[in-house]
Chain A
Amino acid sequence: MKKLLTTILSLGVAASAALAAEPAITAVKVANVNDAAAWSKAKFQTITLYPQTAIEFNDKKANELTANAKAKKAEVAALHDGKNIALMVKWADKTRDLQQCTSSDNYSDGFAVQFAGATKKAQPLPYIGMGSNGRPVVVHLQKATPKVYEPNGNKNVAYQINRQQTGVFGKELADFDAKVASLANTDYEKVFVGEGFRTLTEIKDGSAKSNATMTFSPAGWNATLVRPLKDAYVNLNGTVPVSVAVWDGSKMGRNGLKNLSAWVAINLEGQKANAAMVSELTTDPKGDAAKGKEAAMMNGCNGCHQVEATDPKSFMGPALTNVGGYSTAAYLRESILNPSAVVVPGYNRNAHANTPWYNIENGKRVSTMTDYSFLDKETVDNIVAYLKSLKAEVE
């Protein structure tokens, strides 16, 4: 019986593991990525976006809406023209959710593309959750927010007052309204740099160029992003690792309440691919997931982590319920052998003051997780294979 169970388990794991590694995407070389006709040459690949479940936020309604969230499929294609790279992301969404300027509790659909800061190494890539110490990322964000205003009213305080306080009527009031409307920023597009969750900082000095669009149809969203291959933040060549995230406003999605992909390899056509990186991102890790599960139990992972969705939640370590979906094998291996290699500043530690998941020693975050570097290589391989199998079903 036990043997049969193991076989079934490993079969199940093998079946889902086949979905694990994403295919590499080819960024087709075109004359000009800004030419809409160029997309006819694009080669779409399907990637999977997993619900972010590493940490749970404190929004009760949103947590109810996203409990048992499923993974989503997205169609992704890329183009490049030697100067710029363009991405197109298509995903199904039944509702077009726009954050209105008149509501306290609605949220927009949106999408983001994360690029690794200048790196040629196949591993370790930056931590998928907005990078990690010394491994920066650049994140391009586009939200379907129709109108937002600058907090300081573009330093034009006179236009912050209400229309009835202007003391004018008729044409003068209409002029006032028109001027106020013209001060709105109608494109919620932002570029950020980050070295870990919570460090994300908007680039506001114009040094990061980008152009993102989102178009809705009954099938869902079609989003594009164009950015330079090289700027002060990244130098994209050969093989470009990217990660895609989408938000669903109807599920109160924002910030970590999203679906995101693992790092996906994009090969720039006409350039030499980074074979090591492609292999890293497109191949499933070796190892016996069933044995890995046993090893994870024996080593007490679930003492601090919610490992599977059925395990109790923990404030100590991040939940691992979708870690197989969005993490690379290299990151998982690194975190087992050297838990302090990536310790995100994380959710404010004061939110759970009695379960500190890191201490600061000599100015560095030192994880409170046990160092598992004593495990033999095979066991680590097995645990990594098991962790890679942890992910939600596709909806």
Chain B
Amino acid sequence: MSKRQLAMVMDLNKCIGCQTCTVACKTQWTNRNGREYMYWNNVETYPGTGYPKNWMELGGGFDAAGDLQPGVIPNLEADYGVPWDYNYESLMGGQADSNNFHPHVSPTWGPNWDEDEGTGVFPQDNYFFYLPRICNHCTNPGCLSACPRDAIFKREEDGVVLVDLDRCQGYRYCIAGCPYKKIYFNPKISKSEKCILCFPRIEQGLPPACAQQCVGRIRFVGFLDDEESQVYKLVHKYKVALGLRSDYGTQPNVYYIPPTESPAKFDAEGKIIEGSTRLPVEELEKLFGPAVHDAIKTLKAEMQKRKETGVSELMDLLIAYQHSDMFRLDNNYYQQVAKENKRNPLAPVDTRYIAGKFTKAGGHH
């Protein structure tokens, strides 16, 4: 366990599936150099096949006895989908012949192949919701435990899980060991790579690209030991943010506000079935564990309280009026760590999000 732990909370009631986070991450980190197929951040439609295909069935994680479980390494063509590209050059010869313009591989699969499909019968009871996923920067990472070379480590200062590319020899046991399949093999450099929680941004006072660009303002970032942080309040104070598939035993540090709001079902005549809800709570329990019932209860009660009294700290938090209300990146802390480790301390490039347990200043209103 690291000294401190950075965490992210994602409010699934607010995710609109726009993929801005996906694109923010891709353009920042993964659109080049063998990472083209990787999505360190993806937004999948749940229920759905997910990315990589059926990742929940590919093993990894720990059993109740604490033993690492064997897993399967997904196949690029079948499970991730080859990112196809076009021969733009064919359009540049003056003869704009659309017959010559084609993808370099025939697309057969890709992330979001089944976007917005969901399940159920339209229009009676079909439903889906969006599930954005990044590396969970687990407290007990399956990838780290699987590595026979000590190439994966958890940063002492903030619990970010990283791959040491000098030590990595491309064995890929980490991919089998991660139950979320959020670590990928880069075939061009023959090493594993993964989400780095944008640590170079965080150290300089900027939230991760996925979180800062999020138009739905669903992502909160901060330290779990900072009682003033949004993540502390959502995870520990109100207990409305829960880890995804905590049953895998890796103690994930990305938490989700379960989707509580879903429309009612229709009967055969197309009339609303009063009191019904499309989203089966069993599905939420499968993803977020039995604590999801209490979380939903708290969320509903606070929503009601807000309607009646106009006051609810939890609702105000989740509304996130200001971008600066969503992130507490504790810049002084990182400056201190840099100093202790004789690294170059860098001035924050943005002062809006730098407040934290050890950073009193910052935050503008």
Chain B hits for A197, CB < 8 A: 148
Chain B hits for A170, CB < 8 A: 89, 92
Chain A hits for B71, CB < 8 A: 58-60
The A70-105 residues at the B interface (CB cut-off 8 A) are: 99-105
Would A60 and B187 count as touching, CB distance under 8 A?
no
Contact of B31 among A102, A165, A354 (CB under 8 A): A165
Would B188 and A350 count as touching, CB distance under 8 A?
no
Chain A hits for B75, CB < 8 A: 103-105
Would B66 and A354 count as touching, CB distance under 8 A?
yes
Would A162 and B189 count as touching, CB distance under 8 A?
no
Q: Does A318 contact B (CB under 8 A)?
A: no
Would B70 and A350 count as touching, CB distance under 8 A?
no
Would B150 and A198 count as touching, CB distance under 8 A?
yes
Alpha-carbon separation in the docked complex, A345 to B147 (Å): 12
Chain B hits for A315, CB < 8 A: 67
Alpha-carbon separation in the docked complex, A348 to B62 (Å): 13
Give min CB distance, B17 to chain A, whole Å.
26
Would B32 and A162 count as touching, CB distance under 8 A?
yes
Chain B hits for A40, CB < 8 A: none
Chain A hits for B172, CB < 8 A: 59, 104-105, 254
Q: Pick the interface stretch among B162-170, B263-271, B325-333.
A: B162-170
Alpha-carbon separation in the docked complex, A169 to B190 (Å): 29
Q: Does B184 contact A (CB under 8 A)?
A: yes
Would B85 and A164 count as touching, CB distance under 8 A?
yes
Q: Does B213 contact A (CB under 8 A)?
A: no
| Chain A interface category by residue count | 35 or more
Chain A hits for B169, CB < 8 A: 254-255
Would B70 and A103 count as touching, CB distance under 8 A?
no
Closest to A150 in B: B189
A59/B33 contact (C-beta < 8 A), A102-B187, A104-B185, A348-B147 known: no
A104/B74 contact (C-beta < 8 A), A58-B173, A347-B148, A350-B144 known: yes
Alpha-carbon separation in the docked complex, A197 to B69 (Å): 21
Alpha-carbon separation in the docked complex, A60 to B145 (Å): 16
Chain A hits for B144, CB < 8 A: 348, 350
Closest to A99 in B: B190
Name, among A104, A149, A201, A315, the residue most crowded by chain B CB atoms within 10 Å (CB to CB).
Answer: A104
Alpha-carbon separation in the docked complex, A169 to B86 (Å): 13
Would A104 and B191 count as touching, CB distance under 8 A?
no
Contact of B76 among A103, A148, A153 (CB under 8 A): A103
Q: Does A63 contact B (CB under 8 A)?
A: yes
Alpha-carbon separation in the docked complex, A169 to B91 (Å): 10
Give min CB distance, B27 to chain A, whole Å.
10
Would A148 and B190 count as touching, CB distance under 8 A?
yes
Give min CB distance, B323 to chain A, whole Å.
29
A165/B176 contact (C-beta < 8 A), A149-B189, A150-B189 known: no
Interface residues of B, dominant DSSP: loop
The A281-301 residues at the B interface (CB cut-off 8 A) are: none
Would B66 and A352 count as touching, CB distance under 8 A?
yes
Name, among B37, B80, B148, B189, the residue most crowded by chain A CB atoms within 10 Å (CB to CB).
Answer: B148
Alpha-carbon separation in the docked complex, A83 to B266 (Å): 85
Q: Mark B62-86, 1 if CB is under 8 A from A, else 0.
A: 0001111111111110001000011
Chain B hits for A162, CB < 8 A: 31-32, 36, 85
Give min CB distance, A47 to chain B, whole Å.
25
A57/B173 contact (C-beta < 8 A), A104-B73, A104-B184, A201-B167 known: yes
Would A59 and B70 count as touching, CB distance under 8 A?
yes
Alpha-carbon separation in the docked complex, A321 to B350 (Å): 59
Alpha-carbon separation in the docked complex, A151 to B33 (Å): 8
Chain B hits for A173, CB < 8 A: 89
Would B69 and A58 count as touching, CB distance under 8 A?
yes
Q: Does A121 contact B (CB under 8 A)?
A: no
Would A169 and B92 count as touching, CB distance under 8 A?
yes
Chain B hits for A103, CB < 8 A: 75-76, 187
Q: Does A200 contact B (CB under 8 A)?
A: yes
The B153-188 residues at the A interface (CB cut-off 8 A) are: 165-167, 169-173, 175-177, 184-188
User: 19 A–B contact pairs at CB < 8 A?
Assistant: A58-B69, A58-B176, A59-B70, A61-B72, A99-B187, A101-B187, A102-B187, A105-B73, A148-B189, A151-B189, A160-B32, A162-B32, A169-B92, A188-B190, A198-B148, A198-B150, A202-B166, A255-B171, A348-B150
Q: A103-B75, A105-B74 are in contact. List 16 more A-B contacts (CB 8 A).
A: A58-B69, A59-B73, A60-B176, A102-B187, A104-B73, A104-B175, A145-B190, A160-B33, A188-B190, A198-B150, A255-B169, A347-B148, A348-B147, A350-B68, A350-B140, A354-B67
B: which residues have CB within 8 A of A? 31-34, 36-37, 59-60, 65-76, 80, 85-86, 88-89, 92, 140, 144-150, 165-167, 169-173, 175-177, 184-191
A: which residues have CB within 8 A of B? 57-61, 63, 99-105, 145, 148-151, 153, 160-162, 164-165, 169-170, 173, 188, 197-202, 254-256, 315, 345, 347-348, 350-355
